[in-house]
Structure 1
Amino acid sequence: MVLKRFGVLAIIYRLDSVSGEPLFLIMHRKLNWSGWELLKGGIEPNESEENALRREIFEESGLKKIEIIKHLDTNMVYWDRNRKIQNELSVFLVKTDEEESVSFSNNIVKEHDGFEWLSGSEAIRKLKFSDTKRLISFAQDELKKTLG
């Protein structure tokens, strides 16, 4: 029997103050594996996707001033490392204030030990998994429609 877990994934961006181009937040994971990823987490019982998204963003990055731009018409499905739980994540495009700084102090699990704000192409080069690389490309296409 396959156990399913539902969650959210945030593609967080801010606009560069000089170029006006979107910069994407990627996190360096240290718990269970090492590499760069997008911010994600589970939905708790009786919690809406939007509330889970806001909670996970605050817990993992400390960001509070966020704007949920769009629930993207895509998702990400992956297995846990023991291949016992299938995780299905709803994907959201989220904008934050360029001045707000990332902090790990609210994350008691200590999943991450670093972060970077990168252009789409730089983020795609650094991200570990092809699914997250695909999501950055998808977000870039969405932002081209929105930002022009």
Structure 2
Amino acid sequence: MDRIRKVQVVVYTMIKEPQFLVLRRIPSKGSIWQNVTGAIEDGETLENAAYRELEEETGIGRDKILEFGQLFSFEYRDARDMEVEETVFFAKIKEGTPVDITKNVYPEHETFKWCSDREAIELMKWKTNSRAIEAVMENLKK
């Protein structure tokens, strides 16, 4: 049976309160809001895949990241009936870091925005994306 490994990255910055970066997929991909996500390439570590996807989808490189870490992993079966294992990371970035969604080799997103945790959670279609934002907020309260 086919199995896919993916990563998800919750991107945020701290102003007075955390602000989360959310991306809206292009219409042919459902126009849904999501965090940075993508598949792991052959021979790539989870962490390197997360860094690569973050840079591909937002233009944010490692030099703009203040904190980076793994939150949790989960499994599910996708619409193609494939098993997927997804690992969720967070990336706290420098305030004022520019975001550029136009340079992705595979255009996936039509727009992005910064928003509060509540707004980001409400925008997400997938509970796992909402749960990832909730996990960041839980970590910030520690």
Q: TM-score, normalised by structure 2?
A: 0.89
CA shift, 1:78, in A, is: 3.5
Conservation of the 8 A alpha-carbon contact between 1:58 and 1:106: no
Is 1:22 the equivalent of 2:18?
Answer: yes
> Which residue number corresponds to residue 110 of structure 1?
107
Structure 2: distance between partners of 1:99 and 1:66: 12
Is 1:82 the equivalent of 2:80?
Answer: yes
> Which residue number corresponds to residue 98 of structure 1?
95
The alpha-carbon distance between structure 1 residues 28 and 53, as it changes in their structure 2 partners (threshold 3 A), is: same
CA shift, 1:104, in A, is: 1.5
> Which residue number corresponds to residue 143 of structure 1?
140
Q: Give the superposed CA RMSD.
A: 1.5
Conservation of the 8 A alpha-carbon contact between 1:68 and 1:92: no
Structure 2 residue matching 1:69: 3-state secondary structure: strand
Q: What are structure 2's unaligned runs of at least 5 residues?
A: none
Task: Indicate the percent of aligned positions where both proteins have the same amino acid.
Answer: 35
The alpha-carbon distance between structure 1 residues 76 and 39, as it changes in their structure 2 partners (threshold 3 A), is: farther
> Which residue number corresponds to residue 11 of structure 2?
12
> Which residue number corresponds to residue 123 of structure 1?
120
Q: Deviations over 1:31-57 (max 9, x none)?
A: 422210111111111111121111100
Is 1:61 the equivalent of 2:65?
Answer: no
Structure 2: distance between partners of 1:63 and 1:120: 20
Q: TM-score, normalised by structure 1?
A: 0.86
Q: What are structure 1's unaligned runs of at least 5 residues?
A: none
Aligned pairs, how many? 139
Look up the equivalent residue of 1:21 and give its one-letter code.
Answer: E
CA shift, 1:68, in A, is: 4.1
Structure 2 residue matching 1:78: 3-state secondary structure: strand
